[in-house]
Amino acid sequence: MNVEEAIESILNLYAKQIAAKKIMVIKQYQSDGAAINSYPREIRQMLSTLLVNAMEALRTGGTIAVRVRKSFYRGNPANKGVRITIADRGVGIPAQNKARIFEPFFTTKGKQGTGLGL
């Protein structure tokens, strides 16, 4: 699966919401079209969830940066891959929640959240 194509498909899916909030999306693709061996549906779901979280964290007119670059596993540099970063300049995570953000099903969104963000 080509990572950049997957990201573009997710950005296109949310294009109307991005435009409505006047969000600027900065794209930096430095992976030379690298592909990853994975489950495409799950990768798209992960990218979608991260993008929605970033959009929800922003005020109107905010910025989201999407970066893709070649990477490798430090324990074995021969194990190559890509690093995907979705960053926003939103309000941030409250200090009391930071220790819990990787807990399964932890959410601050009440019934609207699934807890699958990170």
Give residue-wise pLDDT tens across range 23-44. 999 999 998 877 788 888 988 9
The residues spanned by each domain of the chain are 3-110
Domain 3-110 matching CATH 3.40.190.10: the answer reads no
Predicted TM-score of the model (pTM): 0.81
- How does 27-50 read in b/e, with b if 16+ C-beta sit within 10 Å? eebebeebebeeeeeebbebbbbb
The 8-class DSSP code of residue 32 comes to T
CB atoms within 10 A of CB 81: 15
What is the spatial distance between Cα 55 and Cα 14, in angstroms, rounded to a whole number?
Answer: 10
Strand ranges inside 7-75, DSSP E: 24-30, 63-73
Give residue-wise pLDDT tens across range 9-20. 999 999 999 999
